[in-house]
Amino acid sequence: MRRMATVSLVLVLVAAALAAGYWLGSRKDEGGTLRTETVAPGRADSGKKPERRILYYRNPMGLPDNSPVPKKDQMGMAYIPVYEGEEPEPTGPAMKISLDKVQKLGVKTEPVALRSLTRTLRAVGTVELDERQVYTVAPKFEGWIERLHVNTTGQYVRRGQVLMEVYSPDLVIAQQEYIIAWKGMESVKDASPDARANMGHLVKSALERLRNWDISEDEMARLQKEGVSRRTLTLRSPVSGVVLDKPALKGMRFMPGEVLYKISDMSSVWLLANIFEQDLGLVQPGQAARISVNAYPGKVFSGKVAFVYPTVTPETRTAKVRIELSNPGGQLKPAMYANVELIARRPKDQVLTVPDSAVIDSGTRQIVLVQRGEGLFEPRPVKLGTYADGYVEVLEGLQAGENVVVTANFLIDSESNLKAALGTFGSGAGATETKPAAAPQEAQRAPASAEGQKGH
């Protein structure tokens, strides 16, 4: 009996010692020192909870439509805030990166948003004459050039300015016929109506012959006023412009239809730009264009697309686009090279877009990294549309308001690690810890240190 009591007492003492050891162990921190709990003055009675950060606002009906700012849906229901720590776990594979690594890698994000896409098309072209402003002086009669008043190529002439004086036997005869008919009309004023009518027909036919030979109205008025034919006839410029070509020489004989002057009004010119085949759908008549030439650095000329030519050059796979622009002072010369910028806008007002730097293109698919929380990134396959200046249209895979990684989105430096990371995207595993690749300097130092240790 005494023996059983002794055994029971020993068991009770052992149990008490174990309990005391467990209690002391739970009160010690990792360094082995005993922890003490202190309560700051007034903290126990304050009852205040630390403020939680709102990550985003989710749709009250559970739709995949998140918003970075408070708003209401179509039924007037307010979006529900999602606080830090309450975000839902990603359903697909995700990558967990520690915050210090995120900072070291310089990871930056940007929200998916609706934007009006504009794309700048750049092309080269040459300045050409406006075909509608080119004129020729080609008499319709045979003759000889008696005197040249404009005898240099490149000279500027005004409309109606005297170009040359010519002699033509046919013109002399036509003038004499007109004068005879005109005087005959004066002599039959008191004659019968039939006689006056016949003489009127003669005057009219002689006048029409002179007009058909493009004799100016000034010459016709002089002929009627003086009533005397002249040996030479003066030819004048039909337009104001620059003499581009002058085959005419003093004393030369010319035949009907032979070009003696070629004059162009260069107050407006054409620019023929070469647009690549894949960009033709973005060029429309009336589209604004900015033109610059090497002759005038920093100066920009403005024009508009007037016509898209219907053929494509097989060798270069480009089509010509005609741009009309004014040419004050004649600064733009024919055959000048020019750089062209066309602002192309999408027919839609706004589309869902992300920065083009957010896209990881493996060649067979396109992926973006969506931030699901602090240091948590989900690779998401997307379907892309039109690329614009720095942005790309997203057709499928993303919602407005989601944050995507735009810098350091590879999260690793080498191409081999990138392939490995893309392989884990499709493995179906859960959140995985991804470490950045070692810097090349560290990789080079490792073998050197190993060799030093071996030598010691």
Indicate whether 265 pLDDT > 80: yes
50, with CB counted inside 10 A (0-12, 13-18, 19+), is exposed
CA distances from 29 to 17, 18, 33, 39, 251 (A): 20, 19, 6, 18, 118
Predicted local confidence at residue 51, as pLDDT: 72
| Between residues 279 and 102, the one the model is more confident about | 279
Phi and psi at 92, nearest 5°, equal -105, -170
8 A C-beta contact, residue 239 and residue 262: no
Stretch 145-164: mean pLDDT:
92
Asked if residue 309 and residue 394 are part of one domain, the reply reads no
Q: Which helix (H) or strand (E) holds 26?
A: helix 2-26
- The range of the structural domain enclosing residue 42 comes to 2-46
CATH number at residue 413: 2.40.420.20
Ranges 181-190, 306-315, 394-403, most confident: 306-315
Stretch 425-446: mean pLDDT:
44
Query: Is residue 447, in this structure, part of any structural domain at all?
Result: no
Picking from 316, 345, 374, the residue at the C-terminal end of a domain is 345
Query: Is residue 354, in this structure, part of any structural domain at all?
Result: yes
Predicted local confidence at residue 27, as pLDDT: 52
Instruction: Give 297-300's long-range contacts (Cβ < 8 A, gap of 24+).
Output: none
Query: Is residue 361, in this structure, part of any structural domain at all?
Result: yes
Indicate whether 156 pLDDT > 80: yes
Measured CA to CA, the distance from residue 412 to residue 350 in angstroms comes to 34
Token pair for 265: 């009004």
Query: Is residue 310, in this structure, part of any structural domain at all?
Result: yes
Measured CA to CA, the distance from residue 376 to residue 397 in angstroms comes to 18
Indicate whether 41 pLDDT > 50: no
Asked if residue 357 and residue 339 are part of one domain, the reply reads no
Stretch 268-286: mean pLDDT:
91
Predicted local confidence at residue 293, as pLDDT: 93
| Between residues 141 and 378, the one the model is more confident about | 141
Give the residue among 335, 345, 298, 286 at the shortest CA–CA distance from 120.
345
3-state secondary structure 134-182: EEEECCCCCEEEEEECCCCCCCEECCCCEEEEEECHHHHHHHHHHHHHH
Q: Which residues contact 179 (CB under 8 A, 6 or more apart)?
A: 223, 227, 228, 229
Query: Is residue 253, in this structure, part of any structural domain at all?
Result: yes
Indicate whether 353 pLDDT > 70: yes
Asked if residue 143 and residue 33 are part of one domain, the reply reads no
Asked if residue 318 and residue 269 are part of one domain, the reply reads yes
Predicted local confidence at residue 328, as pLDDT: 82
Indicate whether 394 pLDDT > 70: yes
Ranges 33-37, 104-108, 207-211, most confident: 207-211
Query: Is residue 205, in this structure, part of any structural domain at all?
Result: yes
Work out the pLDDT band at 134, boundaries 50, 70, 90: very high
Query: Residue 73's Cα: distance from chain center in Å?
Result: 35
Task: Tell me the residue length of the chain.
Answer: 456
Q: Quote the Cα angle for 85-89-90, to 5°.
A: 135
Give the residue among 305, 303, 280, 283 at the shortest CA–CA distance from 291.
303
Type of residue numbered 125 = G
Picking from 206, 231, 258, the residue at the C-terminal end of a domain is 258
Indicate whether 443 pLDDT > 50: no
Torsion of CA 64, 65, 69, 73, to 10 degrees: -120
Predicted local confidence at residue 323, as pLDDT: 95
Work out the pLDDT band at 99, boundaries 50, 70, 90: confident
Type of residue numbered 409 = N
Stretch 110-137: mean pLDDT:
88
Query: Is residue 75, in this structure, part of any structural domain at all?
Result: no
Predicted local confidence at residue 14, as pLDDT: 59
Asked if residue 235 and residue 151 are part of one domain, the reply reads yes
Stretch 146-168: mean pLDDT:
92
Picking from 258, 290, 321, the residue at the C-terminal end of a domain is 258
Stretch 324-344: mean pLDDT:
90
Asked if residue 359 and residue 340 are part of one domain, the reply reads no
Q: From the DSSP assignment, how many helices (H) and strands (E) are in the chain?
A: 8, 26
Stretch 407-419: mean pLDDT:
48
Q: What is the mean pLDDT of the chain?
A: 76
Lowest mean pLDDT among 27-36, 111-120, 277-286, 369-378: 27-36
Asked if residue 354 and residue 333 are part of one domain, the reply reads no
Indicate whether 449 pLDDT > 50: no
Asked if residue 288 and residue 304 are part of one domain, the reply reads yes
Query: Is residue 383, in this structure, part of any structural domain at all?
Result: yes
Stretch 266-290: mean pLDDT:
90
Stretch 239-258: mean pLDDT:
92
Indicate whether 430 pLDDT > 50: no
CATH number at residue 313: 2.40.30.170
Asked if residue 247 and residue 199 are part of one domain, the reply reads yes
CA distances from 244 to 25, 133, 234, 236, 253 (A): 105, 12, 21, 16, 21
Predicted local confidence at residue 39, as pLDDT: 43
8 A C-beta contact, residue 199 and residue 188: yes
Predicted local confidence at residue 417, as pLDDT: 46
Q: Which helix (H) or strand (E) holds 295?
A: none
Q: How large a percentage of the chain has pLDDT more than 70?
A: 72
Give the residue among 95, 90, 96, 251 at the shortest CA–CA distance from 165.
251
Asked if residue 271 and residue 125 are part of one domain, the reply reads yes
Q: Residue 242: helix, strand or coil by DSSP?
A: strand
Predicted local confidence at residue 330, as pLDDT: 86
Stretch 168-175: mean pLDDT:
87
Work out the pLDDT band at 25, boundaries 50, 70, 90: low
Sole residue written with tokens 């990789």: 443
Work out the pLDDT band at 94, boundaries 50, 70, 90: low
Indicate whether 141 pLDDT > 50: yes
Predicted local confidence at residue 350, as pLDDT: 79
Q: How large a percentage of the chain has pLDDT more than 90?
A: 27
Indicate whether 189 pLDDT > 80: no
Token pair for 209: 């012959």
Predicted local confidence at residue 400, as pLDDT: 86
The tally of domains found in the chain comes to 4
| Between residues 151 and 449, the one the model is more confident about | 151
Work out the pLDDT band at 440, boundaries 50, 70, 90: very low
Q: DSSP E strands: which ranges in 277-359?
A: 288-292, 301-313, 318-326, 337-345, 351-355
Predicted local confidence at residue 268, as pLDDT: 92
Asked if residue 124 and residue 113 are part of one domain, the reply reads no
Strand partners, 344: 119
Measured CA to CA, the distance from residue 175 to residue 209 in angstroms comes to 9
Over residues 198-225, the pLDDT tens digits come to 777 887 787 788 888 877 777 777 777 7
Asked if residue 231 and residue 180 are part of one domain, the reply reads yes
